[in-house]
Every structure is written in structure tokens, then in C-alpha cells.
Amino acid sequence: MIKIGMISLGCAKNRVDAEIILGALKEKYEITSDEAEAEVIIVNTCAFIESAKEEAINAILEAAARKKDKLKSLIVTGCLAERYGKEIEESIPEVDGIIGIGQYDKVAEAVEETLAGRKYINLKENFPLDYLNADRVLSTPKGSAYLKICEGCDNKCSYCAIPSIRGPFRSRTVEDILREARMLLDQGVKEITVIAQDTSRYGRDIYGKPSLPMLLKKLDDMDGMCKLRVMYLYPDEITAELIDTLKTSKNILHYVDLPVQHISDDVLRAMNRRGRAEEIKKIFNRFREEIPDVIIRTTLMTGFPGETEKDFEELKNFLSEFRFDRAGIFEYSKEEGTEAAKMKGQIRKSTKERRYNELMAIQQKISYEKNLERVGKTYDALVEGVSDDGIFYYGRTYAEAPEVDGYVYFTSREPLETGQTVQVRILLADEYDLTGEAVCGKIST
């Protein structure tokens, strides 16, 4: 059988697409994790910001170099393909196939065509949603998986190219989502992470109103449901019903991912973000009042066009005051085709870097202090693997989301397997990771 390798870059939403691509190929081809052995390599790309585009192009070029060895076909999919497909075709002739977003049912056809020596380009912009109902080959550590409930975005933040790449916001039906959740449970998944570009908007397009609480209740009530984690909530869609659902559910982890980007009203307005500083602060306070053990993650951006030193000081004060458990911090990236790219007041790179470093220093200190508070406490942890030195297992508690947060490293007197859940007592802390010991052996298999 022809061996196919997959390189998937970018966010969790992109990872789901990569798993769907592999699902479309698994019956006819052999999937390999060894790129040196692959006769076909598919690079599933990201193009959200400049650094992601650079990473994607480098990955394509590195894969193309393997054509001197066993590689016969190089196919590019994902956001970079959707956004810059024609440019890839013209500038990187080693690429044999280019497939845009949502055309993943054509991947097998692309493999056949390119192996036969014919170029294959499919960049239709009809953004179908039903591709999400296809089989997947999970690429996450055993025991965890993502569940994408929507595709696309209608928010039109002025800095973001996602709506032009991924298309308009579309929700999957409850029935389709529950069917996929059952498939994941049947595969032994212990933690499902619910994702979308804007998870909190779920259902508005097909049910006439935001319906995330309804969906979460149905998931929570499924027989044998594992732990659920919800990511990418949007501030102005947070309702009392949603908070109560997270608070009272049996299986939803007390972890909130609420990207706000900034706190200055002037900057938020320029970003075309809904919601203002006072409302955002009330939401965070409400979560902490209603769910005392909640872990809160946010995302902040500095260096947006027109961001003044006063705006930046307001952002720093906000970060210091609210002491988020987790915070992703980014420098503004000027993206072609976005409204912000045309704005006056573009910030110098040196200024963006300084502001980024100041925010990171604040958050590192907060993160370390928050982690110190967990020393001596015991948590359920999902085992995800063994460290390179072979001494520690590593995994995640409810406080660590996959791929974006740190790990808990721990020893165990009993042998453990990936995908098991164990109780871990925290012994040491640093800025991002924790170290501990398993205290109760296996909880579940």
C-alpha cells in the first residue's frame, strides 16, 4: 500500500480537518507518522497570522525536499491553500495538489491524480459543512479528542482573515454532533473538547438563537459521557443560562476559555469587537462568583493599530488585576485583506515586541503564583504519555487544556497507560508546568 504522511499545523479546528482527511484515506492507503517513509505527504496548513504562514511555507518546502528520496506526491490543504492557492501553484512547482477548505472529500481523488503524474487543484469556494460528518482518524493522545460543532465565522473582527478563509458561520445539527460524540465515546475517549471559531454562537443560524446551553445539556446527559471541555467562547454571548449549565453539569469541566483581545474600549471598538470593558469585567467576575474553582483562560493582543500607551497601560492593569489562570498573548499581525491592515497608526515592531514582553512578564509571574497555590492538592489527571527521559508520566488535569496549556509531570509506583485517569498530588510548580506523584493508582481504563 502507498504510505501517506500528514503534517498538520495550526489550531485544534485544523487538526479535526486533518483527522477527517486521514479518515478518507485510511481504507486504501497506509498512514505513516514517519515522513521519511511517506510516498505522499499532505501538509494541512494554517494562515491565521504571518508567523503561521511562514511556518506553513517552511513545512511545504521541507516536504518538497523529500522528492529527492521516496516522496512521489506533495499535497497542500487547509487555510494557506484556501487563501493563497494560486500563489502556491505558481511559486512552489514541487506541489502536486492544492485543496481548499471543505473539499476534503476530494483528497483521495487528489492522491490518485497526483500519483498518476497529473496536477490537482480544487479551490471551490462553496464551503460545505457536511464534510464534518465523515470518519476521522484521531491524532490526539489516546483518551482525548476534539469535537467541532460549527465552522466559519461572522464576527468580522477587523484584524482577522478567518471569515474570508473559512466562510460564514454554520452550525452542525444537534443530531450530527451527538452522533459523533457517541462515536468518540465508543473509541474510549475520556475527555472531549468542544471547539469552533465562536462556540458560544452555536445554533443561532439553524435554531434562531444561540443554543450552546441546550447542546451542552444533551451532551452532558448522554449515557457514558466522559469529561467535556468548552473552548472559544465569545464575551457578549455569555448568558446566565450558559454559566448555570457549566456550573450544574455532571461532566463539564470548570474551565472557561474566553478570548477578549483587549480591554480598552477604544481598541475594542477599532477591532470591531462586540462588548466593552465594563461588560467583560462583569462576565469574568460572574464566573468566579458562580464557579469558585473555575480556571479562566483568555487571549490578549497588543500592538493593534492606534493602540496608545494609555491603552496599553489599561491592558497591563487589567491583566494584573484579574490574574487569569491562563493567558495567550500575541503581537498584532498585519493581515492582507483585513480592515485593520489599512488603518492608520500601525505600531512599530520594536514597540509591539516591548509591549508583548511586558505582558508576558506579568502573566508569567501570575501563572507561577497560581501554580504554587495548587501544590499539596490532589487532582484527577488524564495520562497522555511518558517524558523523554522515561522518568515521568505526563498528563492534564481539568486546569490544563490540550495543546495550549502546560502539563503535569508525575511519577507512579504502578505502570500506567495512555488514556487512563489517575489521581495526582502536586509537589512542585513552575510558571507553566507542575510536578507531582500518582497517589491512588488507576481510576479508569
79-91 vs 50-64: helix crossing angle, rounded to 10: 50
249 and 362 fall within a common domain: yes
Domain harbouring 138, CATH code: 3.80.30.20
407 and 336 fall within a common domain: no
State how many domains the chain has. Answer: 3
Side-chain-facing half-sphere of 209: CA atoms under 13 Å: 7
Domain harbouring 16, CATH code: 3.40.50.12160
38 and 69 fall within a common domain: yes
Side-chain-facing half-sphere of 332: CA atoms under 13 Å: 30
How far apart are alpha carbons 211 and 230 in whole angstroms? 14
107 and 142 fall within a common domain: no
State which residues form the domain around 408.
Answer: 378-444
Which residue type is seen at 124?
A: K
210 and 350 fall within a common domain: yes
The DSSP H or E segment spanning 135 is none
The sign of the torsion formed by the CA atoms of 225, 381, 145, 360 equals positive
CB 315 within 8 A of CB 331: no
150 and 225 fall within a common domain: yes
CB 51 within 8 A of CB 64: no
Which residue type is seen at 307?
A: E
Q: Return the biggest CA–CA distance within the chain.
A: 62
- What is the total residue count of the chain? 445
Q: How are beta strands 191-195 and 144-148 bridged, if at all?
A: parallel
154 and 72 fall within a common domain: no
Secondary structure letter of residue 324 according to DSSP: -
The residue among 68, 94, 122 that closes a domain is: 122
Domain harbouring 382, CATH code: 2.40.50.140
* pLDDT per residue rounded down to tens, the chain (445 residues): 899 999 999 999 999 999 999 999 999 999 999 999 999 999 999 988 888 899 999 999 999 999 998 999 999 999 999 889 999 999 999 999 999 887 888 899 999 999 999 999 988 766 678 888 989 999 999 999 999 999 999 999 999 999 888 889 999 999 999 999 999 999 999 999 999 999 999 999 999 998 999 999 999 999 999 999 999 999 889 999 999 999 999 999 999 999 999 999 999 999 999 889 999 999 999 999 999 999 999 999 999 999 999 999 999 999 999 999 999 999 999 998 999 999 999 999 999 999 999 999 999 999 999 999 999 999 999 999 999 888 899 999 999 999 999 999 999 999 999 999 999 999 999 999 999 999 975 555 4
Q: What is the CA radius of gyration of the chain?
A: 22
How far is CA 329 from each of CA 131, 160, 298, 315, 362, rounded to the nearest angstrom? 32, 16, 9, 11, 11
Task: Cite the DSSP H helix spans in 305-348.
Answer: 309-322
37 φ/ψ angles, rounded to the nearest 5 degrees: -95, -10
Is the pTM value of this prediction over 0.85? yes
How far apart are alpha carbons 57 and 7 in whole angstroms? 12
- b/e sequence 163-183, b meaning 16+ C-beta within 10 Å: bbbbbebbbbebeebbebbee
The residue among 122, 157, 178 that closes a domain is: 122
389 and 341 fall within a common domain: no
At 155, list the grid cell.
464576527
Nearest to 351 by CA among 337, 367, 331, 368: 331
How far apart are alpha carbons 421 and 418 in whole angstroms? 9
Nearest to 262 by CA among 402, 157, 152, 155: 157
The residue among 90, 122, 154 that closes a domain is: 122
The sign of the torsion formed by the CA atoms of 426, 430, 432, 435 equals negative
401 and 349 fall within a common domain: no
- pLDDT tens-digit series, residues 262-271: 999 999 999 9
341 and 389 fall within a common domain: no
235 and 383 fall within a common domain: no
> Given the C-alpha cell 512542585, which residue does it identify?
428
151 and 238 fall within a common domain: yes
Strands annotated E in 227-374 = 227-230, 252-257, 295-302, 326-331
